[in-house]
Structure formats: C-alpha cells, structure tokens
Amino acid sequence: MSIAQIIGSRHVLAVQNLHASINYYIDQLGFSLVWQIEGWALVQRDSISIMLGECQDDISAHETNNHSYFAYIEVTDIDSLHQEFTHNNVEFVSQLATKDWGQREFAIKTIDGHRIMFGQELLF
C-alpha cells in the first residue's frame, strides 16, 4: 500500500473585481497568470499559488478585520522582497522587523483587504 504525500497547496481567495486583482498580483506582487476562466484565475510566484474567485456581492476581506490574514509565506532574502514591494507601492500592514521568535518579517494588505505575512527564518 502506498502512502499519499501532500505535494503542495493553493490558497483560494474571494475577490470583488477579478481583473483588478489579477493585475495587482502581477504588477505589484510579481506573480504570473497561470490560467483564467469565467470568474476564476490562478496566479503563481515561485512555489506559491493563489486561486482568485470573483465574488462581487460577498463581504470583502477589508470587512473581516483580523480574519483577513490568510497566509504566512516563507521566503529567502526578505530584505530584497520588502524593497521590491516598496518600489511597487504595496500597502504594508507591518514594516520589516526582526522578531524574538527568530523570524524577520513584514505584512502586506492586498487591494481586496487580504493580509499576507512574509517571513525569513534567521539562523541563530
């Protein structure tokens, strides 16, 4: 009997304007469009994939406050990523800082109000 392996994950996010959200992920966060069909799109950067589903009439992530955090994305060279996002006028929720728990991290807010934390593990 073989043992199943989990080989990846995709985040699925409700967005109010699919076209605007696709452009945001491409132009400001450096993702690429993998595919798009009626009401849905898949964007990807390196090993992170995000499915965007258009839900024009649903409550926006802006309105969910703390529940709008959906991912902690581990990266290499966090300083360069922060600089890239600063250059691309990404909205930061928290600035780049070294934390007591051994991570260097920052958080952003997307145009739909979803918040994403990016972090790099520090070697002590």
Q: How far apart are CA 17 and CA 29, in angstroms?
A: 17
- Determine the structural domain holding residue 28 and report its residue range: 10-56+68-121
Specify the pTM.
0.90
- C-beta neighbour count of 56 within 10 angstroms: 10
Q: How far apart are CA 67 and CA 80, in angstroms?
A: 28
pLDDT for res 62: 83
pLDDT for res 51: 97
End-to-end CA distance of the chain: 41
The verdict on residue 62 lying in a domain is no
Residues of the chain scoring pLDDT < 70: 124
pLDDT for res 17: 96
The verdict on residue 99 lying in a domain is yes
| Sequence-separated (6 or more) residues with CB below 8 Å from residue 95 | 106
Tell me the CATH number at 112.
Answer: 3.10.180.10
The verdict on residue 83 lying in a domain is yes
Strands 10-15 and 48-54: parallel
Indicate the DSSP class of residue 113.
Answer: S
Strands 32-37 and 40-45: antiparallel
The verdict on residue 43 lying in a domain is yes
Q: Count structural domains, the chain.
A: 1
pLDDT for res 106: 97
The verdict on residue 63 lying in a domain is no
pLDDT for res 60: 85
The verdict on residue 36 lying in a domain is yes
The verdict on residue 1 lying in a domain is no
85 near 68, Cβ under 8 Å? no
Residue 115: closest CA among 47, 29, 45: 29
In the structure encoding, which two tokens stand for residue 90, read together?
């990404």
DSSP H or E run through 25: helix 18-27
The verdict on residue 50 lying in a domain is yes
